[in-house]
Amino acid sequence: MVTALYLLLISSKMTIGSLVTCIGLDALLLTFLVGYFKKQKSWLMSYAQNFCGALFVFSGWVKAIDPLGTAYKMEQYFAEFKYTFEETWMSFIAPLFPWLSNYSTGFSVFMIVLEIVLGVMLILGSNRKLTAWLFLGIVGFFTFLTGFTFLTGYVPGGVNFFEFGKWGEYVETNMKVTDCGCFGDFLKLKPKVSFLKDLVLLVPALYFVFRSKDMHQLFTASTRKIVAGVTTAAVFVYCLSNYVWDLPHTDFRPFNNGKDVRTVKLAEEESAANVQILGYRLTNKESGEVVELSYDDFLKQYKSYPKEAWDYDQVKSEPEIEPTKISDFDFSDLDGNNMTEEILSDPNYHFMVVAHKLYLDSESSKKVVYQDTLFVVDTIDVEGEIKLVRSVDKIVPREETEATFTWDEDYTNDWKVVNEFMSKAEAQGYNTYAIVGGASSAMIDDLRHDTQAAYPFYEADDILLKTIVRSNPGVVLWKDGKIVMKWHKSKLPSYEEVAAEYIK
């Protein structure tokens, strides 16, 4: 797996073609080594085992680096499945997906461990029939996910996936889940490529099932079991180390340490502004007929295609710079004032607390009665001068419903540790603030009061915050629009240590 490990160092240049080539060469070398020491029943079968095994080990490994990334991707799938099924006769299935979403992290770790262990078992030839059927099952599962993602490109807005008669031509923007997450954030594949990849993998998967007796086997049965068991335990602990105890040891996301977010954001925005409208793709809402017009022709003929009967899709030129999540870096204060530029243009060190979601034990409401005092204003003549006099007219009770929050104790303890750190930074004159997602003003105020957080809170999209740091809460050190360092809540050093090492 030397070549596959080397890929990690050149990830910025990686494509699916170069990835397959490198893994293919690794598998070829491994096949010759296996054949040199052990007679093979089928060289083709041996190569298929090594190639598929190496591919699964590598794809599982890059996901094990960031298990939360896979969990977030599963949440997207579950949300889309809920929406898809609740509008059909199979609506009774829909409530299952929010429930599954609650366990997406555990499901992510299970799938990652299974993928890597299955890859190792293929290379070793462990439990040949079981391994063959498991491989077919997991490839079938991946094919279903990537196939669903790709095929939603044919489903226009407002049309359910199962309304096949209303499908139109493929439009990439129709897809709700735009990346399958097959290789995590290491390598983004277009859904069509992911789907074709999994269709191809079905061929060796069926080959393994029908010809499992031809699979090579390395070492003794007991050794193979020990290797599989040790791999399972090691990968499980490795996954936990990358989100429970610390941040992923390698950050493939755009907000990595050292990233000049301000410069990249400006470049991506400029690139997006230079995109030109080349034409329009018009789809008839009833017949599904598609008409493509150049921009000039559209300006001349658009009256012939009323919006009541046609859907309009712009055909644009490709941006010079591929946009990343940095383009979405945007947040505001609780009054709706945008604070992005103020933060990115700050030339000094400053600390950001990130929380994509605030965790509650429970939320309830209570009735609160307020006494409103009503006044009357009258005029009186004081020595020829008219003056206004206000007096109490009556007191009227007013009943309101207010939310009350009970916080998860472990979660608030994490915030208290972070707050102690932030208070020391603030005492040294550094700007401190928090950005949270998916929370009401009342919830934010209650958390601030409960944890004694004195710094201001801002709001942003929760997906953006998940991308910035894989910790809730997490701490990010900025300077002049650049990310200096990020910390997991469990690995946050003392302020004194941070100041000594990172604040120059």
The highest-confidence range among 189-198, 358-367, 401-410, by mean pLDDT, is 189-198
Alpha carbons within 13 A on the beta-carbon side of 161: 19
Weakest-pLDDT range from 103-107, 132-136, 394-398, 432-436? 394-398
Identify the pLDDT of residue 9: 47
Asked if the model's pLDDT at residue 3 lies above 60, the reply is no
The residue whose two tokens read 């080959």 is 207
In this predicted structure, the answer to whether residue 386 has a pLDDT above a threshold of 80 is no
- CA–CA separation, 256 vs 164, rounded Å? 42
Q: Using 50, 70 and 90 to split pLDDT, how confident is the model at 365?
A: low
Burial 318-331 (b: 16+ CB within 10 A, else e): eeeeebbbbbebeb
Give the CATH number of domain 326-359+408-502. Answer: 3.40.30.10
Q: Tokens 């340490």 appear where?
A: 257
Q: In this prediction, what percent of the chain has a pLDDT beyond 70? A: 93
- Report pLDDT for 504: 82
What is the pLDDT, as a whole number, of residue 370? 66
What are the residue ranges spanned by the domains of the chain?
2-241, 276-316, 326-359+408-502, 369-401
* pLDDT tier, 17 (very low <50, low <70, confident <90, very high otherwise): confident
**Position with higher pLDDT, 373 vs 309:** 309
Q: Which helix (H) or strand (E) holds 179?
A: none
Question: What is the model's pLDDT at position 283?
Answer: 82
Q: Are 172 and 193 in contact (CB under 8 A)?
A: no
d(CA 325, CA 28): 38
Q: Whose CA is closest to 255, among 377, 165, 344, 131?
A: 344
pLDDT > 90: what percent of the chain? 51
Which residue's entry shows tokens 């996301």? 253
pLDDT confidence band for 366 (50 / 70 / 90): low
pLDDT in tens, 31-76: 998 887 777 788 999 999 999 999 999 999 999 999 999 999 888 8
